[in-house]
A and B are shown apart, each in its own frame.
Chain A
């Protein structure tokens, strides 16, 4: 079975840093994706981790520890447009299993 947990909501101030945690217990693991989804829109790809460690892409970074079943997405220099839902997804056997998503609200 698949169990993927992430916090439901987070609020932060413009210009700040927010860290979204994701823990997983899955029957298999080939990698972990993070997607961003604005309200009423489709998910869009943010980052992918297959090996342990940190992947940095501009203001967004993602970390993976396979031994701990843990990942986080770090959003730096928050902007109002970063208000969205962030979805953690485990990739295994051609398929993605998603967490419920974390809604991030950025306040001025």
Chain B
């Protein structure tokens, strides 16, 4: 059982480049989330989705876009990378939006130089 899979694990980007962080889950979870975690800080919610075709902004959405065409996949797009987006990005999923724990992927460590 793979759970939540994120790719790539590491990436270095130049300022202004774009890239997509991939997230896939095989647990048939409806809810999916993208967080960023800066050193010494808690996780900040970027975007979330309550099901295929439905997405909404979280606390820090600027500079990012998402899509949810299937239940399994929830990619995060950076269009014009900026140094402030250097962070560790975590994707998570949960079965419903009620009080069930979120399951996290292993993260993508992104540096923008």
Contacts and interface: CB of A to CB of B under 8 A. Distances in A.
Contacts of B40: 8, 100
A24 to B, nearest CB: 12
B43 A43 contact: yes
Given A42-B90, A100-B40, A100-B42, A94 B105 contact: no
Interface of B: 31, 33, 35, 40-45, 48, 50, 58-59, 90, 97, 99, 101-107
Interface residues of A, number: 23
B50 A87 contact: no
Interface in A54-108: 87, 89, 91, 94-101
Q: By CB atoms of chain A within 10 A, which of B43, B45, B104, B106 has the most?
A: B43
Contacts of A100: 40-42
A26 interface: no
B45 A96 contact: yes
Contacts of B106: 41-42
Contacts of A101: 41-42
